[in-house]
Every structure is written in structure tokens, then in C-alpha cells.
Amino acid sequence: MRILGISAYYHDSAAALVVDGVPFAAAQEERFTRVKHDAGFPAQAIGYCLAQTGLKLSQLDAVVFYEKPFVKFERLLETYLSVAPRGFRQFLTAMPLWLREKLFQKSLLGDELKALDAEFDPAKLLFSEHHLSHAASAFYPSPFERALVLTLDGVGEWPTSSVALGNGAALDIVKELHFPHSLGLLYSAFTHYAGFKVNSGEYKLMGLAPYGRPAHTQTILDHLVDLKPDGSFRLDQRYFDYMGGFTMTNARFEALFGEPARAGEAQLTPFHMDIAASIQAVTEEVVLRMTRSLAAETGERNLCLAGGVALNCVANGKILRDGRFDKVWVQPASGDAGGALGAALAAHHREFGKPRTVATGLDGMAGAYLGPAFAPDEIAGRLRAVGAVFEEHDEAGMLAQTVEGLVAGKAVGWFQGRMEFGPRALGGRSILGDPRSPSMQKTLNLRVKFRESFRPFAPAVLAEDVGDWFEHEDVSPYMLMVAEVRRERRRTMTAAEEALFGIDKLNVARSEIPAVTHVDYSARLQTVHAETNPRFHGLLSGFKAATGCPVLVNTSFNVRGEPIVCTPEDAFRCFMGSDIEMLVVGTCVLRKERQDPALALDYTSRFELD
């Protein structure tokens, strides 16, 4: 069977094609439109998925939308009524759009699909449920015959947290926590309060947390969150504004913590670092109580995670190390984009009753390399068309040139194979650097990515060497687990260095690989496997042979506010608009000093800040 899944109209629209129960192609719409978190109908992502098969839309067995719009409308309407008259202005703003478009989303989707293929039969359009889509995206590609599936996000139709049990092809949701009580919305409220964008800046808040102290944890638990021993909770809505207003928090929230919400781009202070540390601590406590209780209640030994909160890799690492589960697997596209994949998988197994074959190897996601790829001749032709100057090499020559550039301290744009599905660059569309360099983190943040200096970078490490460098013995192919650098790799700190606080910690080298060692000695791991990405594995092996270090800095190939690059042209523009010094696209090697200076771009104002 060939089933297309779609997510759209909120944020991170995407399309995913499943063939006989196996993820075949998937991509976010933002990669094609170059609009970060694009929420529009994913026409170009659908076009890509169809192009991979050579089929027309009308030849597919089904198209599945990732949630039920009418149920979501019901929740919104009930919410407005429950807070009336406080939510009247938001009601007046939202209702015209719902009554004009969103309430009739089935018709709207049918029209959009028929615009792509006039022969498409609207009877093939199906609807999943938001949390079922998330749960399916996590369980069906996992390497487990049976597992507990925990989904945590902002809100779908009504659920904000859900528990499902998966066994073979069966997947059933058994528990739900409903809106407005939401761990995702709680974290987003603090994201807003710290001055970052909701549905975009949550990972910044997580990265800021180690600079601060959890000084406000008890205040959060005393006033905002009524947390039960089993991890269930209720939020005191007197402190929030997301039910009836236009922001996440209100004046009572600000009075509780004694400061107004930070304006975007205003200076970060120790207060904001403490706020980040505090909500991170609360989040970890909630998920640990949940997972401990569920493990005891169900006896399950495997755990799958999905939903936006599952991108909190610090919490994921603590769940794994807590030991209640033998294995923890996280869907790499845990957010709404992954709902497209889950919707298609849920339909395949539940709607059409097809059996499931448990994935062998790492999992059924093919390393998350499900996006577009470009043949060598096409790469060379596209680069010539934009005026690029490059050398073509064989595989060995390209790898040798790249290793040489990395050892020389260059920031290297690395564009290889199929693009990753999900928010993380995993060696398909990456910027790479030498992790041994004490200045690499600052260089990449300020001169290459044009973003805040405090933000940490992930280490990509040969899977076979991970235990020699990090306190982690398991795989982590998707950068969704955090572990500490091994003690013998750490540098002994002076008393003066130990006494530093906040951003002052940033300039202190803490290990043999300072560019990927956060201020608390943690690192967001990506284990690199020869079976899913042999070329990236080969590069790391070459770097290890040259330096003795099997680790590289790996960050997404984009600048702040830009989606990850999709095409060779995107890669060249980013290369010419930043301080990336070397670009490797397939086996083509480009050096900045050999390019036409007239092609340089001002990238600092090209994209809206995230």
C-alpha cells in the first residue's frame, strides 16, 4: 500500500509517504519554501514524495491528515466560552478564519489535493487524531515488538499528554491528560517569558538552563503546577493567558517572579538563566514521575517518545539513565512534522489492518534520511549555474580534502545524500568543525550561524567509540539524548574558573573537546553508524585517523532564522553569506577564497530572527 500523510495549518507542515508500512520519503514544507516553520499546505513536500515513486496523487491508496479539525474547533469554542468574557477579543480574531477556512478543512484539503491532481478522489482523504499520529510515528518505526508510548506536546484536539500501548500492529491510547493542563504549553510559557519565540525557541531555553540555578523551582511547583506522584498535574490558569488572550503569560505570572517578560533580543541576565534552569528542572521532574509510574503500572521495558516535549534531549537522557526502561527510542521528527508520518503509519496498520514487521538494525527510519538527494552530475550542473568554483574528486579524495580542512580549523559546510526529516541535521545537511578547538563554538555561533553565543553544539561521534568519550553506552543516532563527557576527558578547573557564573562560563575550556562540551559537562549526542550514513562515518573515521579524535562538531546547515538547506543552491548561498570557509557538496569541494567576491551575500538580515 502507498499512503501519504500530511500535517499542515499550525506550524511545521510536512508530507510523508509510507510504502507497505515502511517510511519511504518525508520532508517539511519549510525546506522548499525557505520559510521557517512554514504552516501552509505542503504542496512542494507532497510533490517531492510523489516524485520519489513516479506516481500521481490519484494513484495512492489514501491520503491522511494528522488530526481532526472539527474536534479541535470544538475545543477552541469550549475554551472561549469557559473564560468569557475574557477571551472575547481572541474569539473575534480567530472565529472569522475558522468559519471561513479551518472549520471546513476537509473541503479545503480536498480542493488543495485536487489542484495537485484533478483525478484525486476526495473519498481517499482520511483523518487521524493528533496524539494517535504522534504515537504511531514513535511506535511503528521503533525496533520494539511491544512498548509503552508516551506523547507529550502543547495540545492536539483535546489531549496534551497521552499514553499508548503498542504490541505488533496494535496501538491503543489508554490514558490522556487534557487541555489546558499541558507540559508543552508550560514550557512554552517560560519560553515566551524568557524572550524567545513560542514553537521555535524552546530549545534555546533548554540550552540556556545550564548557565543558571534552579532557584525558582519551588515557586513553580507551589503556584503554577499541582504535580501528583504519578506525574499527572494541573496548571493554575490564573497565571496564564493562552486560553483567552494573545500571549502565554499574564501580569500575575510576572508579579510571581518579580520581573516583566524579557523583550526579544534584550540582554540575557542571570535571572533569565535561573528561570530556564528552574523550568527545565520541573519538566524533568514531571517526565520522571510519569515514566516511573507508568513503568511500575504496566511492566513494559521499552519506551517510545513523541510530541514536541520529546525534543527535550536533556530530559530524555535522564529517563534513559533512570533505568526504569531497558530501551528508550525517540522519533527524530517528534514535533508536528512527524505527525504526517504517524498519520500514514496509523492508517496502514489500524485503518487497513496491515501487519507490522519490526524493523531490524537501528530502527525503521533509515537514519531519518528521507528527504531529497541529488546525483553527482546534477550537483555539478547546479553549482556551475550559480557561478560556483569547485574541484571534483573521487570519494577518497573528497574525504581527504575535508579532513584536511577540519584539522586546519575551518568551518565546513557538508551536503551529502538525502536530507534529514526532523529538526536535527545528522550529517546530510550539516556544518562541521573541529571539537578540540576552544574557539570553535563562539566562531560557529557568532560568525557562521549569526546567533546567540550561549547556544551549545552537538558532537557527532563514531558509534563504536561513544563509550570512550561520553558517559553513554547506547546508541543515539538522532541527537535526542544528552550525556556527560567522560571524567577522564575533562579538564581540571581552577578555583577562579569554578567560581564563574552565567555566560562567563562560556569561555572556559572544560574538556578535550571544548566545542561540544556544555558548561555542565553535558553533550547532545549523535552516534554515527556506517549502515545508515557510510560517507559521514567515513569522514569521522578519517578525522580520527588524523587526530585520534572520533568526534566532530555537528550543527545544522543554516543561519539563524533560516530553514536547513535543501538544494545545492541553498548550500552555496549560505556558504557565500556566512563565514563557512569550505563547502563539500557530494564530491565537489569549494573553498571560499576561490569564489567570485561579487557573489557574496548579506545573510544577517535575509531571514526573520527565530
Q: Do 63 and 96 fall within a single domain?
A: yes
Q: What is the pLDDT of residue 112?
A: 96
Residue 140 lies in a domain: no
149, part of any domain: no
Are 394 and 539 in a shared domain? Answer: yes
pLDDT recorded at residue 264? 83
**For 496-520, what is each residue's pLDDT tens digit?**
888 887 778 877 889 999 999 999 9
Residues contacting 492, CB < 8 A, separation 6+: none
Task: Give Cα separations from 505 to 144, 273, 441, 486, 514 (angstroms).
Answer: 41, 12, 13, 19, 12
Average pLDDT over residues 176-188: 96
**Predicted pLDDT at 448:** 86
State pLDDT tens for residues 419-444: 999 999 999 999 999 999 998 988 88
595 and 478 belong to one structural domain: yes
606 lies in some domain? no
Is the pLDDT at 80 greater than 80, yes or no? Answer: no
Q: How far apart are CA 62 and CA 59, in angstroms?
A: 9
Residue 528 has pLDDT above 90, yes or no: yes
- The yes-or-no answer on residue 11 being catalytic is yes
CA distance 114 to 116: 5
Model pLDDT, residue 208:
95
Specify the DSSP class assigned to residue 601: -
> At 88, which CATH number?
3.30.420.40
The CA-based angle 206-26-152, given to 5 degrees, is 35
Least confident stretch, 162-171, 236-245, 535-544: 236-245
- The three cell numbers locating residue 158: 483535546
Domain count across the chain: 3
Residues in CB range of 114: below 8 A, 6 or more apart: 120, 122
Are the beta carbons of 343 and 133 closer than 8 angstroms? Answer: yes
Q: Do 306 and 404 have their domain in common?
A: no
222 & 78 share domain: no
- Select which of 11, 181, 216, 272 is catalytic: 11
Q: Please compute the mean of the pLDDT values over residues 286-290 and round it to a whole number.
A: 98
> Is residue 242 predicted with pLDDT exceeding 90?
no
Q: Is residue 370 part of a domain?
A: no
Q: Are residues 121 and 196 in the same domain?
A: no
Specify whether 545 is located in the same domain as 431.
yes
Q: What's the rounded mean pLDDT across residues 249-271?
A: 95
